[in-house]
A and B are shown apart, each in its own frame.
Chain A
Amino acid sequence: SAVISQKPSRDICQRGTSLTIQCQVDSQVTMMFWYRQQPGQSLTLIATANQGSEATYESGFVIDKFPISRPNLTFSTLTVSNMSPEDSSIYLCSAGNTTSGLRIFGPGTRLTVL
């Protein structure tokens, strides 16, 4: 099955800066997703990354804060903009097809904002 890699695996950033996380899948996938996993909490879906069009954001998440790109069927980026300590979390990339809930997940990016 497909494998997802994410870069960076972790980062420590200053308040007010931005970080772009890259997600690469080793084969073409129909759908890509971004999740956030805050300490001690479950996975929260941020958005669905749509190839060739704007991402679909979940309630509570906006494009200005979390711009997403998906230029092709194997790659996506998530930017965390104007970071604050509340953005400290693990960000997970996920991929799957359109007809089932079968998903693969990346290893995550652990972000700490000081």
Chain B
Amino acid sequence: AQRVTQPEKLLSVFKGAPVELKCNYSYSGSPELFWYVQYSRQRLQLLLRHISRESIKGFTADLNKGETSFHLKKPFAQEEDSAMYYCAQLEYGNKLVFGAGTILRVKS
């Protein structure tokens, strides 16, 4: 079964510092990968998907097939970025499988 690994349970940074949330996936040829975010007291929502190659709220994520990684990055963290971030991979049968999640805390 394909799996998604997020090695960090918690990442704490200061406002203005760069952020990198790590995600590694199991090989599947042409993976479809996503980052979902859950802000405090809000429902889980899509942040970005790799095929769109867009920047959302200053975040980007590049697919690195050699390292089977899809790390989420932002050059300057803001306090409002504090949330739970989930990396997810679309598996056979249109099932979306999530990593364990990383809590991002941005300190002022």
Residues of A within 8 A of B (CB): 31, 33, 41-43, 45, 48, 56, 58, 92, 94, 96, 98-108
Q: Are B94 and A98 in contact (CB under 8 A)?
A: yes
- A45 → chain B closest CB, angstroms: 6
Q: Are A108 and B43 in contact (CB under 8 A)?
A: yes
Q: Are A43 and B98 in contact (CB under 8 A)?
A: yes
Q: Which residue from chain A places its CB closest to the CB of B34 in the assembled complex?
A: A101
> Which residues on B sit within 8 Å (CB–CB) of A107?
43
Q: Are A43 and B86 in contact (CB under 8 A)?
A: yes
Question: With A43-B86, A101-B32 as given contacts, are A48 and B93 in contact (CB-CB < 8 Å)?
Answer: yes
Q: With the chains together, A107 CA to B39 CA distance in Å? A: 12
Q: A105 is contacted by which of B32, B45, B90, B95 (Cβ under 8 Å)?
A: B45
Given A48-B95, A98-B94, 20 extra CB contacts under 8 A: A31-B94, A41-B100, A42-B100, A43-B44, A56-B93, A92-B44, A96-B94, A96-B96, A100-B90, A101-B34, A101-B90, A101-B94, A102-B34, A102-B46, A103-B96, A105-B43, A105-B44, A105-B45, A106-B43, A107-B43
